[in-house]
Structure 1
Amino acid sequence: MGTVIDSHFLALTAIVTVGYQLFFFIVTALLKFDKVTDFAGGTNFVILALLTLIVKGSWHFRQVVLSLLVVVWGLRLGLFLLMRILQWGEDRRFDETRANLGKLTIFWIFQAVWVWTVSLPLTVVNASNRNPSIQTEDIIGWIMWSLGILVEAVADQQKLAFKNSPENRGKWCNVGVWKYSRHPNYFGEIFLWWGIFVASTPVLENAEWLVIFGPIFLTLLLLFVSGIPLLEESADKKYGNNATYRDYKRTTSPLILLPPALYGNLPSWFKATFLFEFPLYSRNLTQESWYRSSQQGSNEQKMH
Structure 2
Amino acid sequence: MSGIDGAALLVSLAATLGAAVAVLLAAFAVGVRSGVHRHVDVAWGLAFSAVAATGYGLSAGHGNAVRRLLVLLMVALWGVRLSAHIWRRGRGAPEDPRYARMLAKVPPERRTWYALRTVYLLQAAIVWLVSLPVQIALFVPRAPGVPVWIGIALWAVGLFFEAVGDRQLSRFRADPGNRGRVLDTGLWRYTRHPNYFGDACVWWGLFLCAADTPIGWAAVVSPLVMTYLLANGSGKPMLEKQLASSKPGYAEYTARTSGFLPLPPRRHPQPHPTED
Superposition TM-score, scaled by structure 1 size: 0.79
Separation in structure 1 between the aligned mates of residue 221 and residue 49 of structure 2, nearest angstrom: 20
Cα pair distance change 1:210/1:77, threshold 3 Å: same
Separation in structure 1 between the aligned mates of residue 257 and residue 54 of structure 2, nearest angstrom: 41
Separation in structure 1 between the aligned mates of residue 21 and residue 173 of structure 2, nearest angstrom: 34
Residue 223 of structure 1: aligned partner = 231
CA contact (8 A) 2:9 2:136 kept: yes
Residue identity over aligned pairs, in percent, reads 30
Q: 1:54 aligns with which of 48, 51, 57?
A: 57
Q: 1:151 aligns with which of 132, 155, 161?
A: 161
1:47 aligned partner, one-letter code: A
Q: 2:130 aligns with which of 103, 118, 126?
A: 118
The structure number with the bigger radius of gyration is 1
CA contact (8 A) 1:252 1:263 kept: no
1:102 positional shift: 5.0
Separation in structure 2 between the aligned mates of residue 154 and residue 72 of structure 1, nearest angstrom: 14
**RMSD of Structure 2 on Structure 1 (CA):** 2.2
Q: Deviations over 1:41-91 (max 9, x none)?
A: 111111111121122213610111111111100010011111110164543
Query: How many residue pairs were aligned?
Result: 262
Are positions 1:40 and 2:43 aligned together? yes
Separation in structure 1 between the aligned mates of residue 239 and residue 268 of structure 2, nearest angstrom: 20
CA contact (8 A) 1:253 1:263 kept: no
Residue 211 of structure 1: aligned partner = 219
What secondary structure does 2:219 align onto?
Answer: helix
What secondary structure does 2:101 align onto?
Answer: coil
CA contact (8 A) 2:36 2:94 kept: no
Are positions 1:160 and 2:170 aligned together? yes
Separation in structure 1 between the aligned mates of residue 127 and residue 254 of structure 2, nearest angstrom: 31
What secondary structure does 1:101 align onto?
Answer: helix
Q: Name stretches of at least 5 consecutive residues in structure 2 with no aligned partner.
A: none
Q: Name stretches of at least 5 consecutive residues in structure 1 with no aligned partner.
A: 279-304
Separation in structure 1 between the aligned mates of residue 17 and residue 182 of structure 2, nearest angstrom: 39
Residue 20 of structure 2: aligned partner = 17
Residue 85 of structure 1: aligned partner = 90
Aligned counterparts, 1:217-296, within 5 A: 217-239=225-247, 242=248, 244-261=249-266, 264=269, 277=275
What secondary structure does 1:256 align onto?
Answer: coil
Of 229-238 and 97-106, the range deviating more from structure 2: 97-106
Separation in structure 1 between the aligned mates of residue 42 and residue 251 of structure 2, nearest angstrom: 33
1:178 positional shift: 0.7
Residue 142 of structure 1: aligned partner = 152
CA contact (8 A) 2:47 2:127 kept: yes
CA contact (8 A) 1:53 1:63 kept: yes
What secondary structure does 1:74 align onto?
Answer: helix
Higher relative contact order (CA 8 A, sep 6+): 2
What secondary structure does 2:37 align onto?
Answer: coil
CA contact (8 A) 2:161 2:198 kept: yes
1:208 positional shift: 4.3
